[in-house]
Amino acid sequence: MPIVLGLALGALLIWLDGRDLDSIEQRRLNYDFLVNATRQHVELTAVSTALVLLIAVPTGIAMTRPLLSRITSPLITVFNIGQATPSIGLLALFIILWAIGFWPAVAALVAYSSLIVLRNTMVGLQQVDATVTESAQGMGLSRLQVLTRIELPLAVPVILAGVRTALVINVGTATLAVFAGAGGLGTVINAGLVSGRPLITFVGAVLTAILALAVDYTAGVIEDVLRPRGL
């Protein structure tokens, strides 16, 4: 995959170098502008995904505990609001209620992708065989020790699959951050649409696709590394 993505990026750059660009295309397709837009896109994706992990994983763990089982359904409904709302509408709502900038865009991405990680965390923990946890408790382990030593390691593959999905979703949805003034590769795509330059839009879309595939591949490698041995 890295070789394929590298060849695709190289082919795109070589193709662009051989094109006769007008003044508008030169301003939007120069190296500095594209690198800055990609950096902003990566920052949006990384920060939003990190916040999703901080929010969704602990919440998913808490919702599988017996004491909080009664509020599981209402909490899922709250998280489902972000997933059910169209991404552009969710972004517009945060802009209206908050402001224009980086953090409203991040908040919209977090609200949009949290449900995936939350559900995977819950499913991963709920699929652990009850006899395994009961045996661990019978051996003298506390509930916290059972959670950290038994349940979470067994649930890691399912949780990481949710994180991987959330990452890819955030890469694609982050293109809308341009409407919040947060930059990203959506700036390139929107510049092409506004100026009537399909070439600019095409380059922005291809770079977004390459970034999404690169993030998915990297997340897959990390998933394999973090997966407990023997699973």
Q: CA-CA distance, 143 to 134, in Å (whole number)? A: 10
Residue 183, classed as helix, strand or coil, is coil
Number of domains forming the structure of the chain:
1
Number of H helices, E strands in the chain: 11, 0
Residue 148 is assigned to a structural domain of this protein: yes
**Which domain range does residue 123 map to?**
2-7+24-226
Give residue-wise pLDDT tens across range 136-165. 878 888 888 888 888 888 888 899 989 989
Which residues of the chain fall short of a pLDDT of 50?
none
Distance of alpha carbon 166 from alpha carbon 168, whole angstroms: 6
CB 25 within 8 A of CB 199: yes
Residues in the chain: 231
Does residue 125 sit within a domain? yes
CATH assignment of the domain containing 57: 1.10.3720.10
Q: Is residue 30 part of a domain?
A: yes
Predicted local distance difference test score (pLDDT) of residue 208: 93
Q: How far apart are CA 65 and CA 192, in angstroms?
A: 50
Per-residue burial over 96-123, b if 16 or more Cβ lie within 10 Å, else e, is: eeeeeebebbbbbbbbbbbbbbbbbbbb
> Does residue 18 lie within any of the structural domains?
no
Q: 15 lies in a domain? A: no
Fill in the DSSP letter of residue 140: T
> What whole-number distance in Å separates Cα of residue 182 and Cα of residue 41?
9
Query: Is residue 17 assigned to a domain?
Result: no
Q: Tell me, what's the pLDDT at 210?
A: 93
- Given this model, what pLDDT does residue 133 score? 82
φ, ψ dihedrals at 139, nearest 5°: -85, 0
Q: Tokens representing 84? A: 């059910």
Convert 25-38 into a string of H (helix), E (strand) and C (coil): HHHHCCHHHHHHHH
Q: What is the pLDDT of residue 230?
A: 54
User: Would residue 198 count as lying in a domain?
Assistant: yes
Match 């950096």 to its residue by tokens.
39
- 16 domain residue, yes or no: no
Q: Which residues contact 26 (CB under 8 A, 6 or more apart)?
A: none
The confidence score (pLDDT) of residue 206 equals 93
